[in-house]
Every structure is written in structure tokens, then in C-alpha cells.
Amino acid sequence: MGMSAHSLNSRCYDYLCNGGLFNPEMMDHDKVRDLIMDLMRGITESEIQIEALLAMSHKYLNVPELREYERNRELTLEPST
């Protein structure tokens, strides 16, 4: 299990407030790398949870808003050419 969204948001905020926003070269590169890797894991975990919830919602619900959300999500995930 990864870090909570609140924890990741807090780390990003700290990074930006402590120099990352105006002078990223002053930041500890190892900490920045770790932050980026944790963010990637957090995003992946969130995507898995969303997919599971969508699958479950289709099984138990027939809500037009969910179908519209999924249709829009698929459009935004398509690679641009």
C-alpha cells in the first residue's frame, strides 16, 4: 500500500514551498526523485481503484452519469496523433 493522497500532496507542497517552485536546482535530487516515484505509484494505485469501482458500478448500477464519465475518460486517455 502506498502513501495517502494527503501525504503525497503535502510532500509536493513542501517541495514547491522550499525552493522547488522558484529554484528547483537547489533541491536535493534524491528527494525529488523519490517524490516523483511515489507520485507515480500513487497515481497507478488510484487508477487501479477507479477501474475496480467502475467495474463494480457496472455490475450493480446502471447510472447514465457513470457511462458518460467513462466515455469522457476514454477520450482523454487516447493518445493524440
Among 11-15, 50-54, 62-66, the range scoring the smallest mean pLDDT is 62-66
pTM for the structure as a whole: 0.57
57-65 mean pLDDT: 66
Regarding predicted confidence, which is higher, 81 or 70? Answer: 70
SS3 content of the chain, % helix, strand, coil (to 5): 80, 0, 20
Question: Is residue 63 a contact partner of residue 57, using CB atoms and an 8 Å limit?
Answer: yes
Local structure of residue 21 (DSSP, 8 states): T
Report residue 52's pLDDT band, with 50, 70 and 90 as the boundaries.
confident
Return the closest-CA partner of residue 54 out of 42, 43, 65.
65
